[in-house]
Amino acid sequence: MSTIIAVENYEVKGKHGVFDYEREKDQPFVVSVWVTLKNPACDDDLTTSVDYGFLQQTVHDIVAGGESVKMMETLCDIIIETVSGHPNIAGVKIRIEKPEAPMPHEGGLAVVERTWPEGSTF
């Protein structure tokens, strides 16, 4: 049996993007993080699982308070690096949406997804 713990569609503002003006003013990012546990949680004990608050706080600290980066792929990697260090986590999937990403035409949604370890499926 595998267990997935997640925080989905967490909107947080940050200053990230390829263009200088994107790194000067806050813009919204919508982040979802799913993690699989190494072992099933047991005995109704949170220490055998992963706290949702840990996932949300990690995303907030990195997107809102972390160093500005150019690419969403880099944000994914930084979040995965932090989350994957949790002793109960075996795998991570992250999705970052950037609703106000500058694109040449109206419509569409900029999205990046990454998984760890590489090749893992959710």
Would you please indicate which residues are annotated as catalytic (active-site) residues?
Answer: 98
- Cα→Cα distances 72→44, 45, 48, 90, Å: 36, 34, 31, 23
The candidate with the shortest Cα–Cα distance to 33, out of 112, 102, 99, 119, is: 112
Rounded to 10 degrees, the C-alpha dihedral 49/72/68/54 comes to -10
* HSE value, Cβ hemisphere, 13 Å, CA-based, for 121: 0
- Locate 5 and state its tokens: 């713990």
